[in-house]
A and B are shown apart, each in its own frame.
Chain A
Amino acid sequence: MSAMDAAGPPLLPPDFQRWFESRGWSPRTHQLDLLEVARKKRSALLIAPTGAGKTLAGFLPSLTELAGRPRTKSGATAARCGVHTLYISPLKALAVDIARNLEAPVAGIGLDIRIETRTGDTPSHKRQRQKKIPPDILLTTPEQIALLLSDAQGREMLSDVKTVILDELHALVTSKRGDLLALGLAALRRLSPELRTIGLSATVAEPDDLRAWLVAQPDDPDGTRTLADLVTVSGGAAPDITILDTDERLPWSGHSARHAVPDIYQIIRKHRTSLVFVNTRSQAEALFQALWHVNDENLPIALHHGSLDVGQRRKVEAAMAAGSLRAIVCTSSLDLGIDWGDVDLVVNVGAPKGASRLAQRIGRSNHRMDEPSRAILVPANRFEVMECQAALAASRAGEQDTPPLRTGALDVLAQHVLGVACAGPFSPDDLFAEIRAAEPYRHLSQRDFDRTVAFVATGGYALRTYERYARLKDNGDGRLRLAHPSFAQQYRLNVGTIVEAPMLKVRLVRSKAEGRRTPVGRGGRMLGEIEEWFVDQLAPGDTFLFAGEILRFEAIRENEAYVSRARAQAPKIPSYQGGKFPLSTYLAASVRTMLATPASWDRLPAQVRDWLELQRLYSELPKADGLLVETFPRGNMHYLVCYPFDGRLAHQTLGMLLTRRLERAGAGPLGFVANDYALAVWGLSDLGAMIASGQLSLAGLFDEDMLGDDLDAWLAESSLMKRTFRTCAVIAGLIERRHPGKEKSGRQVTVSADLIYDVLRRHEPDHILLEATWQDAAQGLLDISRLGELLTRIQGRIAHTALDRVSPLAVPVMLEIGKEPVVGAAQEALLSAAADDLVREAMG
């Protein structure tokens, strides 16, 4: 039923209608649809491409309702009717941006509606005032919701919320912040049973997941899910995407796309404003520098990534909004939401890693729906050419590969339970029911819930030694209460799910080398923040790229890294940590199919085609659903290379486990290296001969049982697990979060988290926090779920080819071998010489 046929008064009140007309607009169908949904008091998911007027559509029902809401000016009455509409976005900048964008319609229609933001930056007097006199519409973030729900006054302020608008829902639900928000939403639903939600999302693979996320689920984890209504805005004009066609030689490996820099510069010249996306900060730095190197016309090109100083980022954003920039080189820090106005081109350097990710990036260009977005993909190496091609095909077919919904994390649950207790006594049974109504926690077992509550109370250890220090005490009426108000303060300092890697501030000082007599100068400009692990590997005098400059590392002083400007031509670029995002399963399958189907190669550049032809000639092509394993000798080593195409994380885990197994089989492996597409293992024994003689069984080697004991044994020593544990321990409140200027430094937190991890593993391996760590690692850093799927897929489909030398397809992964974390110019030369050797060998 179309909204227009609805009976009753018009969906859009006359003064709204007049405002639309005054702007020469008419309300769009989806905007009316949402008004209709709201009138029925139902929740809805709105899926729309950027530029469809999504935000206004989300707010229209609230604005019309508030327009009709009587208001008295007296503070007392205003306080009693609390916040009407909550708007929650993943970025605080987005909240501020939206507040600004709402000014126009509110003023234009002449509405008396108070709209305020509340973020980490909101001054405390304003927060206090908001609690006393709540605004009608509050724009905020998931963390602020958690904070408000953790005290009685805050709950009071939110007790009458009618509508919750969740912006960029597709991005929110994929993280622990989404878990925190889902729990907050469940609490809000109990506070205000009439509450309805409106989710705003980009196109996703499984809309039903988001629809379920938006509403309370029935108390039957295996039953049918309750779904919010769905409003979809179809397509707009199809984007115009091309892959950069270059005359330069396509690199075999690497991610810098250096070969394409002159081409990218020419593209920037020919457009008004370009957004140049890359996958990591170090790539952003490298590309930005390379572009300035060829910037003969001094075009205003800027750099934007999450590690830059906030002030500097805001300056870039302001310049962008003012239209005074021709290009921004950026990372996912610009992936989301904010309206940049006049971007007419998106350049995606490197592989897109996922079809939906690409679609969202492309959506950043040209915020008018009816015109096609323009995008150019720049693959940085030969495999990426295929990946770009697959992403292009997916985009044309409208395929999506957004990740599936998460299972709610237990560390976030622990944080939430403490937050609930901070607001007042609670009944564990009621809380359990409330939490299970949240989609991510639908399958939460009573046992895990009880263990989590026990963890919050006393640490949840088998030795019940901490009963007398318990943070939660029996209230005498079956409810639990906070044992001491100081724990509420503890909670407020630790709230949130974002645990940054320990960072050091980067401060520009005068070089020690220049003014030799003075010690390192003080008080220079702050350039931004950098991960501690990176600084750890620098020696004074080392140069690296940061904030678009070549800097010389001088010293560490407390929480700051002192740097000076360097004159070096070739900085030691931060080691490439691999793509942040693993190759999506969908794109991986497309690339495998493409490889296995020579008929589809005509879309590929000649260089890539030739390469694949040679692979077919000298070795074999990997099958779409099987696994190709090649063995060959090289130098005094023997190599085993396989091509699962399941992303670097899964490959790294596989590499760890394979080397353990090869060791047991007496094959004496010496090392391995993984990229997004392949895995290479090497050693001194002739692996090919061992396989041929039956001494080594590939089926046994790749058996699924490696995910059992071998995985456990490896994890015991893995530093990845320790890092993951640290994050979980901070979120769950076992370790206190670092606060600037006080508490522990991140450095000390790291030490003690490692010690705690060791002690726990040894004495209580089933502790709930270790379980949370394991779940986290399985979903994230280790990608165990994907490795599991890979192992199942290839059972009985492993093909072995023994070669006498490296195959063409193996060249890229072989080039990753021996890459030192810090690469100087001399090593570059060495690498490129080594690369040429390999290529000659393979193509010989």
Chain B
Amino acid sequence: MSPFTAQQPARRFAPVCHDISLAGELVGLHDSGALWWPDEDTLIVSDLHFEKGSSFARRGVMLPPYDTAATLEKLAGVIDAFDPSRVIALGDSFHDTNGSDRLPATYRAMLTTLQLGREWIWITGNHDPVAPVSLCGETMEEVRLAGLVFRHEPEEDTTPGEVCGHLHPAARIRRYGRSVRRPCFATDGQRMVLPAFGVLTGGLNVLDEAWSALFPPRAFSVFMLGEGRLYPFTASRLVAD
């Protein structure tokens, strides 16, 4: 029996994660795009972008109003599965500053239910630089726990153990003349960039210029999200968009 299940005897089953070491800490990558840190009983999600649809609608672009519900449903799924004592939302949890204010009452209630009985940390992001309106949880710019530091945007000088989001990593591989593009985790063992968890969020190819300051060229790995599993690739196997 693994130490993990020994500590959590009440858990019905351990969700399958891809376990890796990040700056000496054991973390699990989940195919939903969430990061699981068993030692701290903490679940980390990034870039939820709640109320993105209504944010566009304000400008007359009527995207479907279902993104918040769908993202919440997905979030409820992983919280149910991991039952963490702490959740960290890594920034851009709301698509704009007024997003939390616009959150319809039913969704606010759902979110509050998810927060019950656990510590909840909202890291601020470029889309949501202020604390969400009338929601529980602490709001911080960054948070340090054990060997890891959590912030929205990666910083250029690598702090070992940085966990961040912001960039919406995606990767593309090609085989037999066909290519597949998926959101992914990106890491070099020191830094971990989480994929966007929100359902209506696009991705930025990890071979894009914007990444060059974060990882040594071609010397990092990605874990592409699949159905019930992750697909690991070294950066040298990937192709640009």
Chain A to chain B contacts (Cβ below 8 Å), 15 pairs: A455-B62, A459-B64, A461-B64, A461-B66, A463-B66, A465-B54, A466-B54, A469-B57, A537-B179, A539-B174, A734-B61, A734-B62, A747-B241, A751-B202, A759-B199
Q: Write out the residue numbers on chain B whose beta carbons fall within 8 Å of the beta carbon of A490.
A: 60
A465 and B102 CA atoms in complex are apart in Å by 10
| Complex contact B177–A465 (CB within 8 A) | no
| Complex contact B64–A763 (CB within 8 A) | yes
Judged by a CB distance under 8 angstroms, whether A755 is at the interface is yes
Judged by a CB distance under 8 angstroms, whether A556 is at the interface is yes
A838 and B37 CA atoms in complex are apart in Å by 59
Indicate with 1 or 0, residue by residue over A816-834, a CB within 8 angstroms of chain B CB atoms: 0000111000000000000
A767 and B201 CA atoms in complex are apart in Å by 21
Given known pairs A537-B177, A752-B202, the reply for A469 and B58 (CB within 8 Å) is yes
Which of B61, B64, B179, B203 has the most chain A CB atoms inside 10 A of its CB?
B64
| Complex contact B69–A763 (CB within 8 A) | yes
Judged by a CB distance under 8 angstroms, whether B12 is at the interface is no
A760 and B62 CA atoms in complex are apart in Å by 12
Judged by a CB distance under 8 angstroms, whether B133 is at the interface is no
Nearest to A455 among chain B residues (CB) is B62
Which of A463, A755, A760, A822 has the most chain B CB atoms inside 10 A of its CB?
A755
A756 and B69 CA atoms in complex are apart in Å by 14
Which residues, 177 to 232 on B, are CB-close (under 8 Å) to A? 177-179, 199-203
Indicate with 1 or 0, residue by residue over B42-73, a CB within 8 angstroms of chain A CB atoms: 00000000000010011011111111011000
| Complex contact B70–A756 (CB within 8 A) | no
Besides A465-B65, A747-B241, 18 new A-B residue pairs in contact (Cβ under 8 A), listed by A number: A459-B65, A460-B62, A461-B64, A465-B54, A465-B57, A469-B57, A469-B58, A469-B60, A490-B60, A536-B241, A734-B63, A735-B61, A752-B202, A755-B202, A759-B67, A759-B199, A760-B64, A763-B66
Indicate with 1 or 0, residue by residue over B140-180, a CB within 8 angstroms of chain A CB atoms: 00000000000000000000000000000000001011110
Which residues, 79 to 130 on B, are CB-close (under 8 Å) to A? 104
| Complex contact B177–A466 (CB within 8 A) | no
Least CB distance from B88 to A in Å reads: 25
Q: Write out the residue numbers on chain A whose beta carbons fall within 8 Å of the beta carbon of B199.
A: 755, 758-759
Which A residues lie at the B interface, using CB under 8 A? 455, 458-461, 463, 465-466, 469, 471, 483-484, 486-487, 490, 536-537, 539, 556, 575, 734-736, 747-748, 751-752, 755-756, 758-760, 762-764, 767, 820-822
Given known pairs A471-B60, A759-B67, A760-B64, the reply for A556 and B54 (CB within 8 Å) is no
Nearest to A757 among chain B residues (CB) is B64
A459 and B64 CA atoms in complex are apart in Å by 7
A751 and B58 CA atoms in complex are apart in Å by 21
Nearest to A575 among chain B residues (CB) is B177
| Complex contact A736–B202 (CB within 8 A) | no
Question: For chain B, what secondary structure do more than half of its interface residues adopt (helix, strand, loop), or is it mixed?
Answer: loop
| Complex contact B240–A756 (CB within 8 A) | no
Least CB distance from A458 to B in Å reads: 6
Least CB distance from A716 to B in Å reads: 15
A539 and B177 CA atoms in complex are apart in Å by 10
Q: Write out the residue numbers on chain A whose beta carbons fall within 8 Å of the beta carbon of B67.
A: 759
| Complex contact B65–A463 (CB within 8 A) | yes
Nearest to A747 among chain B residues (CB) is B241
Least CB distance from B22 to A in Å reads: 28
Q: Write out the residue numbers on chain A whose beta carbons fall within 8 Å of the beta carbon of B69.
A: 763
Q: Write out the residue numbers on chain A whose beta carbons fall within 8 Å of the beta carbon of B239.
A: 539
Q: Write out the residue numbers on chain B whose beta carbons fall within 8 Å of the beta carbon of A822.
A: 177
Nearest to B241 among chain A residues (CB) is A747
Which of B63, B69, B240 has the most chain A CB atoms inside 10 A of its CB?
B63
Q: Write out the residue numbers on chain A whose beta carbons fall within 8 Å of the beta carbon of B70.
A: 759, 762-763
A734 and B203 CA atoms in complex are apart in Å by 20
A490 and B56 CA atoms in complex are apart in Å by 13
| Complex contact B202–A748 (CB within 8 A) | yes
B65 partner, pick from A461, A487, A752, A755, beta carbons under 8 A: A461
Q: Write out the residue numbers on chain A whose beta carbons fall within 8 Å of the beta carbon of B66.
A: 461, 463, 759-760, 762-764
Least CB distance from B23 to A in Å reads: 31
A759 and B53 CA atoms in complex are apart in Å by 11
A428 and B31 CA atoms in complex are apart in Å by 48
A556 and B208 CA atoms in complex are apart in Å by 11
A463 and B54 CA atoms in complex are apart in Å by 12
Least CB distance from A578 to B in Å reads: 16
Given known pairs A539-B239, A748-B202, the reply for A459 and B176 (CB within 8 Å) is no
| Complex contact A556–B200 (CB within 8 A) | no
Q: Write out the residue numbers on chain A whose beta carbons fall within 8 Å of the beta carbon of B178.
A: 537, 821
Least CB distance from B231 to A in Å reads: 19
A754 and B239 CA atoms in complex are apart in Å by 20
Q: Write out the residue numbers on chain A whose beta carbons fall within 8 Å of the beta carbon of B63.
A: 459, 734, 756
Leading 8 A-B pairs by shortest Cβ distance:
A459-B62, A763-B66, A821-B177, A751-B202, A469-B57, A465-B65, A466-B57, A759-B64
Nearest to B68 among chain A residues (CB) is A465
B54 partner, pick from A469, A536, A752, A755, beta carbons under 8 A: A469
| Complex contact B62–A458 (CB within 8 A) | yes
| Complex contact A465–B60 (CB within 8 A) | no
Least CB distance from B57 to A in Å reads: 4
A751 and B183 CA atoms in complex are apart in Å by 11
| Complex contact A764–B176 (CB within 8 A) | no
Q: Write out the residue numbers on chain B whose beta carbons fall within 8 Å of the beta carbon of A459.
A: 57, 62-65
Q: Write out the residue numbers on chain A whose beta carbons fall within 8 Å of the beta carbon of B57.
A: 458-459, 465-466, 469
Least CB distance from A532 to B in Å reads: 9
Least CB distance from B132 to A in Å reads: 19
Least CB distance from A534 to B in Å reads: 11
Least CB distance from A166 to B in Å reads: 33
A484 and B59 CA atoms in complex are apart in Å by 10
Nearest to A490 among chain B residues (CB) is B60
Least CB distance from B211 to A in Å reads: 15
